[in-house]
Structure 1
């Protein structure tokens, strides 16, 4: 990011990842694993390639003081300010948008990301500071908006994949087709600073995405709805070029951020060969049902140091109901094989799904403890959240779900917000605290003493933070 007094270097476009509401005190929790904002990184790269001056800011880990942001905005007077949000940080994005709009009234405020893709009407009707909502993939939509508002090229209503207000009504242009060829995108901008000097840079620059979409149809996830159920892949040559460029810059570890890098097994094996040749250590998420002893050995030998499995529940009945298409036996076998191969294994699990009872939640906690004790795996335990775009959100009434709030700051996996046919959110909350305490029995004396002094809310956030941090280690 370059900011000088010369107009020549003033940024025409700002792209911002707003703060998460789950920002913790800067104690040992400072290592809370940050989320690399590759979404705005890809958009920025394309805009810069086309000659636009862009400033990116990663505020996800917090913004203690808004004055530096306002000074930056006022100094640059950008034509467009874009915010990329998930559900949990959407309202923080709105607060920042209103603030910058007050100081830069002529700027066009654009929101993109999963949340506004599904709730564009609501977002525009409730928040006058938002001028345009981008639905779906944003790279070429933002390019067309930049051409329109900065260079005077094009007309608004012909830009696909946007929603905006006109005469008090919401105008929705036709959906933009998903990119068929991901290789046409330039590699993402990675040097995305924070305005908070104390914010951790842990894992900020080392994510790579080799594909988009997921062929699965898990009812708690919006990935399939976002990508229309399509799974699209970058070419191996394109992936190799990016990884080699990261290696040449001194990086020796990457995390693959694909929804599921293992959807195409033959392709995964080629990627393993590539990574071994380049000499890059790596981690990823995968499904347990594709794992074999031979594959685990191949992954480890190619430099994979850690793998995360979406296990979700210790109840086979609930796994079937949520559309996971895996078995408890497959989970244990995959964990065993990967642990034996020398990889750090992490299992993500959730409680409070529709259909959960106290008994099935106890099953999940017990299963998590067994995996932790027997295979020394890390466990990320969270509460089920009916995010917009998921089956649970769309079918809430039919499923007997009561979503208790539309305060999106509360839509986090440490905070249950829905009542199900068998459990209230308060019951799930108490069971979640029990789970955190059970799973951290093996912590060192230092952390056990710290947890003992925490309130329940702090306990839940700290527990999730430590689990997430543990899972992201090399």
Structure 2
């Protein structure tokens, strides 16, 4: 038996379908006996794994880990399994080991690391564990040899979603994962692509999954959504793709194909690409049920966007603000503030730019994060930006400390280039804006709480007074509105 472990990543009320392990399960289905253990659904996932090991011949424990809380849960369970059942091989895959492979492999409880797309690598690793092939022939695999030396077999070329079978939804109680959200009463999730063709300097996606994006065919996407609607009653969906719309013709084809499903949905998209879409395509997207689109606006300064290698302009972001208002779609703009080369200038220009966006489209949702570097391809574990070097932790335990957890979640990065005064300005501005325009995504917040925060913060926003917003901190603690960037906490 193979155990596919999805460590706990969020509160149970926020849990969604564990797409990462479902993708692996798809290639095992009908070939290998396996069990999915989802930490978001199990009261004690570690004990569940131990019970399976006690009653089955477990060939491999496969662990999927994102940076942050899920990595901590992966670390704790893996360490306990290694202590109690040291004969079971443990393999880590997913975003964390893909961008920090050395840190993952340095853990004594990790035997193998899969970098990037894992479906074929997993199947080949199973062949090797059964003595049918050599470990050094498996692309995408890192491991420690018999002498304890690190071995890296190189990157595996990515395949598109259409080259793999559907997720075996029947192996999970899907109904329990279709939870209420702003978009509907039964919200599903789906991933229709892998990879990213862009090279933003602060992002690790292209380092983990390559610089090409391979898409699922519109026909398959519609078929899977239809399956979720008809068999499980899904009425909404969140697409987890980094860039849901890359080609206008494919966007039209997909939206026209899914319009009859009457789904409300959310996705991520590029500012530059969608700013060039025709009104007809925007109308098609709206008819298909699109309610909100996440855009990485990143900065209000064109010089910063150029240094980030973002490939967009501030004028294009403003155009998106206008177009989304025109078609009744809520834009969710994310900003990464505190560029190391000139954080003070970047901060002030970006805060002014956010105010301009709000004038154009008051419904715009604003997400503000501190700049945090990630390893770029072919770097040896350190994050580099200009003359700034960040020595990342070299073990999962190092990443699990409060300092690096805050860094990972962009809550309190303690960036050496960011003055305390500038950091406070960013944080206080975020508090004022989030109070002046409370997110519509918190479906639990009563109407009076939004009105109270709006009234309490209006004078500060109008007068540009962001310092010492004690009353807003107190009000937010009392009301506890959802913060999109901290949803996983």
Which TM-score band applies after superposition, normalised by the shorter structure? 0.7 to 0.9
What is the rounded CA distance, in whole Å, between the counterparts of 2:334 and 2:309 in structure 1? 16
Could you tell me how far apart the structure 1 residues matched to 2:381 and 2:82 are? 33
Contact 1:46 1:186 in 2 (8 A): yes
Alpha-carbon distance, 1:184 to partner:
2.5
What SS does the corresponding residue of 1:263 show, helix, strand or coil? coil
Alignment of 1:285-324 (within 5 A): 285-290=268-273, 291=275, 292=277, 294=279, 295-324=281-310
Partner of 2:352: 366
The change in CA–CA distance for 1:95 and 1:302 in structure 2 (over 3 A counts) is same
Distance 1:348 1:304 in 2: 18
CA separation of 1:115/1:65 partners in 2, compared to 1, >3 Å: closer, same or farther? closer
SS of residue paired to 1:55: strand
Q: Is 1:116–2:102 an aligned residue pair? A: no
Q: What is the CA deviation profile of residues 116-160 of structure 1, one whole-angstrom value per residue up to 9, with x for unaligned ones?
A: 224323432x311101111221011112223444x5543333332
Cα 1:64–1:349, aligned 2, differ >3 Å: closer, same or farther? Answer: farther
Matched residue of 2:483: which SS?
A: helix
Separation in 1 of the partners of 2:375 and 2:54?
A: 34
Task: For 1:102-113, list aligned pairs within 5 A.
Answer: 102-113=83-94
Q: Write the distance in 1 (CA, Å) between the matches of 2:271 and 2:378.
A: 22
With normalisation by structure 2, the TM-score equals 0.78
Residues 401 and 418 of structure 1 are in contact (CA less than 8 Å); yes or no, is this contact kept in structure 2? no
Mean alpha-carbon deviation: is it higher for 231-240 or for 384-393? 384-393
Indicate how the Cα distance of structure 1 residues 357 and 118 shifts in structure 2: closer, same or farther if over 3 A, else same. Answer: closer
Aligned to 1:5: none
Structure 2: gaps spanning 5 or more residues:
439-446, 457-468
> What residue number does 2:399 align with?
408
Which residue of the other structure, out of 240, 247, 272, is the alignment partner of 1:257? 240
Aligned partners of 2:372, 2:299: CA distance in 1, in Å?
14
Q: What's the counterpart of residue 97 of structure 1? A: 78
Is structure 2 residue 317 aligned with structure 1 residue 331?
yes
Q: Note if contact 2:266-2:291 (Cα within 8 Å) is conserved in structure 1.
A: yes
Aligned residues of 1:352 and 1:416 also touching (Cα < 8 A):
no
For the 8 Å contact 2:332–2:367, the answer to whether it is kept is: yes
Partner Cα distance (1:210, 1:248) in 2 = 19
Per-residue Cα deviation, 1:3-33 (whole angstroms, up to 9, x for no partner)? xxxxxxxxx222223344xx67xxxxx86x5
Distance in 2, Cα, partners of 1:337 & 1:163: 46
Aligned to 1:158: 137
- Aligned partners of 2:187 and 2:234 also within 8 Å: no
Verify the 8 A CA contact 1:77 1:107 in the aligned structure 2: no
CA deviations 1:94-128 (Å, max 9, x no partner) are: 2220112222222110001233224323432x311
Distance 1:417 1:273 in 2: 47
Query: What TM-score comes out, normalization by structure 1 length?
Result: 0.80
Partner of 1:215: 197
- Aligned partners of 2:288 and 2:267: how far apart in 1? 13
- Summarize the alignment of residues 6-21 of structure 1 with structure 2, pairs less than 5 Å apart: 12-20=1-9
Cα drift, residue 272 of structure 1: 1.0
For residues 296 and 17 of structure 2, the distance between their equivalents in structure 1, rounded to whole angstroms, comes to: 20
Name the Cα RMSD after superposition. 3.5
Query: For residues 160-179 of structure 1, what are the structure 2 equivalents within 5 Å?
Result: 160-166=139-145, 167-179=147-159
Contact kept in structure 2, 1:307 and 1:344, CA below 8 Å: yes
1:466 pairs with 2:483: yes
Q: 8 Å contact 1:216–1:229 — kept in the other structure?
A: yes
Map of 1:61-140 to 2, 5 A cutoff? 67=47, 70-71=50-51, 74-76=54-56, 78-88=58-68, 89-124=70-105, 126-140=106-120
User: What is the CA–CA distance in structure 1 between the aligned matches of 2:427 and 2:153, rounded to whole Å?
Assistant: 45
Q: Report the number of matched residues.
A: 436
Query: Please, which of 415, 429, 432 is the counterpart of residue 435 of structure 1?
Result: 429
In 1, distance between residues paired with 2:473 and 2:54? 40
Aligned residues of 2:29 and 2:168 also touching (Cα < 8 A): no
Question: Is the contact between residue 3 and residue 61 of structure 2 (CA under 8 Å) also seen in structure 1?
Answer: yes
1:347, CA displacement in angstroms?
A: 0.8
Aligned-partner Cα distance in 2 for 1:97–1:202: 32
| Aligned match of 1:46 | 27
Runs of 5+ unmatched residues, structure 1: 1-11, 25-29
Q: 1:246 to 1:346 in 2, by over 3 A?
A: same
Measured in 2, the distance between the counterparts of 1:202 and 1:80 equals 35
Aligned counterpart, 2:330? 344
Report 1 or 2 for greater relative contact order, CA contacts < 8 Å, sequence distance ≥ 6: 1
* Matches of 1:393 and 1:335, distance apart in 2: 39
CA contact (8 A) 1:314 1:360 kept: yes
Q: 1:439 to 1:72 in 2, by over 3 A?
A: farther
> Secondary structure of the residue that 1:441 maps to in structure 2?
helix
Are the equivalent residues in 2 in contact too, given 1:80–1:110 (CA < 8 A)? yes
Structure 2 match to 1:55: 36
Contact 2:339 2:346 in 1 (8 A): no
- Alignment of 1:279 with 2:279, yes or no, is no
CA spacing shift, 1:189–1:386, aligned 2, 3 Å:
farther
